Structure 1
Amino acid sequence: MGASALALGCGAAPSLPRGYELALRRAEGLERDGRHSAAADAYAQSRLRCGGRADLCARAAVREAAERERAGEPDRARRSYLEAARRWPHDREAPRALRRAARIDLVQGRADDGRSLLRAAISRYPDHGDAAAALRDLLQSVEDREGEAAALAEATSLDRVARVRSSALGDNVLYAIAALRIRLADPAAAERALVDLVDRYPYPRGGLWDEALWLLADLAEVRRDFRAVVRWLERMVAVQESSSIVGSYNLPRFDDAELRIARTWLGPLGDARRAVRAAERLRDRYPDSVLRDDAIVLQARAEEALGHHERACALRSVLAREDPHSRYLRPGRWPVRCGPRQ
């Protein structure tokens, strides 16, 4: 069996058309040399030789447009971006092309045209990686020109689009709605949006699920509902899971949430026993957390509040063993007055 037949039998990717490959190499060389106008022309040549492959054609068109931008030719760049989106709408470059064309419109003062392109990128490709950036660009443009209330109306209209609601972008839209509601001094409506987010886009589907729960805890803290603070944070850490085979699946907020729970029990809620349990849970679940020393110190404060002075002092030795460079081991930093041997 020949080498090419063997490669095809093993599922190897098809080779690049020869003319395309040569033009592409030339374009990349010109790009590296900073000859952006010439590089754009070379990418245009590679696009003409893409052999009808949508992925190659679209990529060449977008790279041509990017070089037109760098060469100071925004109008030609915009035309190339829009051609890529129009001719190859199913390629992964299409939403990126729409967003970059929109950026040119916004910079040149054509806000309505730019926003129209951003809405198209969002509504047609809500699961693409560029959709979140397109959303940010759109809402920022509306807010800059028309204010926060108009940006909120824009985000709310996107939340009504079924394709957006069922996509990976849906939680971004709800989080934006909540953030705008907070800035417009409507925390109750912000909370409703966040509750909708955590219910519709639960872990592990929702990329903003833990941030939404953290913000719900913030809102509860502002209105001094400290038990609600704990409830929201407990909902977050309840999904903490681990596997001896593939390791842990910890979200960035998990250990922060555990420490905040412990602090809330010890401080506003005045329940030192639950504070001890929460601090111990952080230490047990997150052996590599940078917050372990904070948890040990908080546990010592809670033990002292319970009248367990010896336990509180013994925790200093635990900290010295686990984190000998902790700032809490410096003179005067330990929260409990202990004897010299403790």
Structure 2
Amino acid sequence: MSKVIAYAICACCLLGCAPSIPRPYLEAKAAGHRAYSSGRYEQAAEHFHQAAGKADRRKDRDEALYLEASSYLRAGRYREAKTVFEAMVSISPDGLRAARAAHEAAKIEIRHGDAAKGWQMLHAAIVRYPASGLSRAALQRYLQYLDETIGPLRVIDYLDASMDWYRAHDLGERALYEKAKRLERLGRLREAVDTLLICAKDYPYPVGSLRDNALYLASELEERLGRPRQAVAHLRTLLEDREQSLIHGSYERPLYAPAQMRLAVLYRDALAEPDVARKEFRKLFDAFPTSTLRDDALWAEALVARKQKDTEGACAAVSLLVKHIPQSRYAHCATLLCDKAPTPGQAGTCREYIARDIAP
């Protein structure tokens, strides 16, 4: 009984600590939501404006102002929307909605006002709120704008001059990756690879959101530089990060399966090691059960085996394909590589373009 009483006292204390939100604020905000959901956006903006004036807490006021600006934006009243977004940043620069408001104001200026001024506003928003997730994508867009206005060479100079600041403010990974892409565009492939490897090393798994992209692109550039062994090494580094989830969910990343496929292709084509290529193609099928590349990998394995005149190996690969992925576009072509291959259950024929590609 004493425990029940203690729990009841705790519950009462927690309820007593709950914020008391003014009823006029709640009513005005509810009216705004009703108007917005009915398509009466200007009326919604007025209600949200009233709610902002009746809020006791800053976070409630900022939320109402954001809804007001969003309503004006939806109504096509861009000047009013921009004014409210800018007011939010002015009166609540460290508020929960401040970063988004700054980015939205810049976006409106770019699309519906003075574009050059809008890009300056976007840069200012990036600098003011570098930790915001919005700033990473915004930096990418801003650099694309600079590409069009001053050219990629000067963009690289800008990034070099600003790199220390970007690194210190949560944007270094994006800045390095964007620099590497511009070096590639200018044909400075060796420098691009070096920059990508710095990006991958300084922003490791699991926190580096561009590590996989950096290593994959580095692999592509190494192949273009005539260095397939290094290309393979970068892919293996990428795949070493892969881990399995022991309970629910997945740690799988979008480039893991493509990296495994590319690894096999490099062994097949650039390194001319067909036996290793076949093992790597089979590994994709075995180790990536959710990948859409599994049938491509088995088909590629079978083609390599056929080229080696290993009929049994080709049959093993296409038999797996038909058994486990009967809906694959290659399933009805299996008998072209193996006379004794099983046939898929559903009716269909081998597509001409596939048959043409494997014709002797």
Name the counterpart of 1:243: 245
Distance in 2 between the 1:215 and 1:151 partners? Answer: 20
What does residue 339 of structure 2 align with?
339
| Distance verdict in 2 for CA 1:341–1:26, change over 3 Å | closer
Change (3 A) 1:289 1:61: same
- Whether 1:117 and 2:121 are equivalent positions in the alignment is yes
Whole-angstrom CA distance in 1 between matches of 2:241 and 2:251: 9
Q: 1:160 aligns with which of 159, 164, 175?
A: 164
Q: Secondary structure at the match of 1:295?
A: helix
Cα deviation for residue 341 of structure 1 reads 5.9
CA contact (8 A) 2:267 2:273 kept: yes
Cα separation, 1, equivalents of 2:286 and 2:270 = 24
**Contact map agreement 2:315 2:341 (CA 8 A) in 1:** no
* Equivalent in the alignment of 2:354: none
CA–CA separation in structure 1 for the residues paired with 2:204 and 2:17: 38
Q: Which deviates more, 307-316 or 261-270?
A: 307-316
Structure 2 stretches of 5 or more lacking a match?
Answer: 343-360
Cα distance in 1, alignment partners of residues 146 and 194 from structure 2: 23
Per the TM alignment, residue 175 of structure 1 is displaced from its structure 2 partner at its CA by: 1.9
Letter in 2 for 1:320: V
Equivalent position of 1:39 in the other structure: 44
Q: TM-score, normalised by structure 2?
A: 0.83
Describe the superposition over 1:43-86 as per-residue Cα deviations: whole angstroms up to 9, x where unpaired.
111111120x2322222222222223334433332221112112
Bigger shift: residues 101-110 or 310-319: 101-110
Unaligned segments of structure 1, at least 5 residues: none
| 139-148 or 281-290, which deviates more | 139-148
Structure 1's 140 and 82: CA in aligned 2 closer, same or farther, altered over 3 A?
Answer: same
| More moved, 101-110 vs 320-329 | 101-110
- Residues 7 and 105 from structure 1, CA distance in 2 versus in 1: closer, same or farther, beyond 3 angstroms? farther
Matches within 5 A, 1:120-199: 120-161=124-165, 164-199=166-201
Quote the residue 1:96 is aligned against: 100
**Inter-CA distance 88–138: structure 2 relative to 1 (3 Å threshold):** same
Whether contact under 8 Å (1:300, 1:335) holds in the other structure is no
What is the CA–CA distance in structure 2 between the aligned matches of 1:334 and 1:217, rounded to whole Å?
A: 35
- Whether the 8 Å contact between 1:139 and 1:154 is mirrored in structure 2 is no
CA distance in 2, matches of 1:74, 1:112: 17
- Cα distance in structure 2, aligned partners of 1:61 and 1:28: 13
Instruction: State the superposition RMSD in angstroms.
Output: 2.8
Answer yes or no: is the 8 Å Cα contact 2:325–2:331 preserved in 1: no
Residue 33 of structure 1 deviates from its aligned partner by 2.9
What TM-score do you get using the length of structure 1 for normalisation?
0.87
- Write out aligned runs for 1:1-342 (5 A): 6=11, 9=14, 14-51=19-56, 53-161=57-165, 164-305=166-307, 308-331=310-333, 336=337, 338-340=338-340
Contact 1:118–1:134 (CA under 8 A) maintained in structure 2 = yes
Identity of aligned residues (%): 31
Supply the distance in 1 between the matched residues of 2:146 and 2:325 (Cα, whole angstroms): 49
Deviation at 1:241, TM superposition (A): 0.9
CA distance in 1, matches of 2:268, 2:76: 60
